[in-house]
Every structure is written in structure tokens, then in C-alpha cells.
Amino acid sequence: MQPDQMKDALFDSVRQALETMAFILADEAQEATEIPTTAKRISMSFTGPTSGTVELIASESFGQTLAAGALGLDPADEEVLSKVDDALKELINVVVGHMMPAIAEDRSDVFSLALPELGDIPADDWSDFIATPSASVFVADGAVIAARVTK
Amino acid sequence: MGYRFLLVDDSAMTRAVIKRVIGMCGVEVDKILEASNGKDGLAMLRVTPVSMMFLDLNMPQMSGMEVVKAVRADPKLAHVPIVIVSSESTESRIEQMKADGVNGYIKKPFTPEQIGDIITTILSTQSTGDAHAA
């Protein structure tokens, strides 16, 4: 699979996952966007006919918006606040799940998925992340998120 | 006496959403048990009989498919209806689930209607004395 095809598959998967999971519409960022000072990095590896790692970076407040949308609760609700990390992990799980059929070259292809990993990312690392050719930057519900897939 | 459900998913958020939908779908609920990995879920199932279980695939300690195989191989548990709730949606994976004896599959993210419909379908099958009846 060509890198551009992989990037397109990830782009579509992120948009679809956000919309179906939490009714969040995401568009490609058209110009320089304000980078959040504190952000989470979520990653998930897959192996199979094609192998790689999908990574997402998003602010904690976006995670709150995501959890609120998925749970159908107010973003300030205590249950939402306790499930921000969980929502971000579930987002990448859904993104990778959506992406696999798109990158499968044959219907019999089997992929093995690792568990999602989550950590903090320093603001300085954003520019390196989005400079990767496979990276896409989105504006979703007023927040900036970035995604990339690396082999 | 209502129905008992077992939710096995490492995502607390997903368990919370399914739990809420079960509460809204009009069936009498006795208890909703939760486990965050396949190993704990299987242990709970061995102790507490349930009417049906919702099971994720990609989990720590014991995957969903390992749980399915263990349940189907155990004569005391083999009748328990299993619904897989997962983001994995390749054709090969879905065919494997069917071959291993799952009763239903719902792709994440799901709608409340999908969960409600599968509960109604499976529980009505149980009440008519199907081979999967608890």
C-alpha cells in the first residue's frame, strides 16, 4: 500500500470515527492553528499484511468534548471527567478498526491490533509530529487534533 | 426476576454507554455485571449465570475470541448468548466470529437502537426455548 493511500484511509477513518462516536464534525485545518499547550498522545499498532502505528494527538479538553458526546452528558459532568483518557483510547481503537478494511488488500487479510497506549506530549513536539508527511491536522469542534500513521 | 447481563470491555466508557442503553430498552434488569478484561469476565461468568453477554475483542490479559472459545468449550456455559461489540470489522474477523459461535456482532461505535434490537432478538429467542436458552 502506498503511503498516500494509507494517509487517506486514516484521514477518512478519523472523520468517520468522530462523527459516529460523538457527533463531532472534523475538517482538515486550512491554515496555521493554535497548538494546545498540554496534549495527549494516543497510539495503537497493527500487524498483518501491512503493519504500522497510528498516532493521534489531542488536547485534554478535546478528550472531554469527545467523552461528553459519546456518553450524551454535559462536558462538566463528573462521569465525563473520569472518562477522558478512556474516550481518547476508544477513539483510536475505533479509528484503527475503521481503517483496517480500507487498507486490506484481500478480504481474507487478518490484522492483529495492539492495545491503545496513552501519554502526554510536550507542546514542542507538535511541530515535529505534524511535519511528518503522513500527518493530517484537523479542526474538530473548535479543537485541533493531529493524526499520522508510521510504518 | 429480571435478566442479568455481563459487559466485558476494557473501555469503561463503552461499558457505561451499553449499561445506559440496557436500562432504557424496556427489559426487566436484575443485574448488570462488568469486567474490564476477558479473564475477569470469564471468572464472573463461571460464578454468576447471565442471560447474555456483550464482549469486546481487543482486551488485555484475555482477548474476546479466547473468551468465546472458553465459553463454548464449557458445557455449563456454552448456552450463554454472546454479542461481540468491537471496532474490528474485516471480513475475515467477522467470519471467524461466526465460525466460533457468537450470536451477534455490533460494530463500534454503535447506536442505542443496535444494542436494543439485539437484546430484544436474543432474549425473545431465549424465551421461546431455543437451544441457547439460559
Compute the average pLDDT of residues A112-127.
88
**Inter-chain residue contact A111 with B90, CB threshold 8 Å:** yes
B129 falls in which pLDDT band (50, 70, 90)?
A: very low
**Inter-chain residue contact B16 with A21, CB threshold 8 Å:** no
> Which of B12, B88, B91 comes nearest A97 by C-beta?
B88
Compute the average pLDDT of residues A52-70.
93
| Predicted confidence (pLDDT) at residue B131 exceeds the cutoff of 80 | no
> Which of A86, A100, A107 comes nearest B13 by C-beta?
A86
**Inter-chain residue contact A113 with B91, CB threshold 8 Å:** no
Q: Is A15 on the interface with B (CB under 8 A)?
A: no
Query: Which residues, 6+ apart, have CB-to-CB distance to A74 below 8 Å?
Result: A68, A80
Hey, is B10 helix, strand or coil? coil
Hey, is B13 helix, strand or coil? helix
* CA dihedral (A38, A150, B109, B2) positive or negative: negative
β-bridge partners, B107 = B86
Q: What is the CA radius of gyration of chain A?
A: 15
Residue B78 to residue B102: CA distance in whole angstroms: 11
| pLDDT value, residue A100 | 92
| pLDDT value, residue A121 | 86
**Inter-chain residue contact B92 with A20, CB threshold 8 Å:** no
Hey, is B78 helix, strand or coil? coil
Residue A50 · residue A147 · CB < 8 Å = no
Compute the average pLDDT of residues A14-29.
91
Across chain A, mean pLDDT equals 90
| pLDDT value, residue B113 | 92
Instruction: Dump pLDDT digits (tens) for B12-66.
Output: 999 999 999 999 988 999 999 999 999 999 999 999 999 999 999 999 999 999 9
Instruction: Dump pLDDT digits (tens) for B63-116.
Output: 999 999 999 999 999 999 999 999 988 888 888 888 999 999 999 989 999 999
| Predicted confidence (pLDDT) at residue B127 exceeds the cutoff of 50 | yes
Could you tell me which chain A residue has the CA closest to the CA of B15? A71
Q: How close does chain B come to A59, measured CA to CA in Å?
A: 18
Instruction: Dump pLDDT digits (tens) for B79-92.
Output: 999 999 999 888 88
Q: Which of B112 and A123 is assigned the larger pLDDT?
A: B112
What pTM value is reported for the model? 0.90
Distance of CA A24 to the CA centre of its chain: 13
| pLDDT value, residue B128 | 54
| Predicted confidence (pLDDT) at residue B130 exceeds the cutoff of 70 | no
Cell of A126: 507538535
**Inter-chain residue contact B88 with A20, CB threshold 8 Å:** no
| pLDDT value, residue B20 | 92
| Predicted confidence (pLDDT) at residue A32 exceeds the cutoff of 70 | no
Instruction: Indicate whether this complex's ipTM tops 0.90.
Output: no
Q: Of B87, B83, B4, B74, which Cα lies nearest the Cα of B43? A: B74
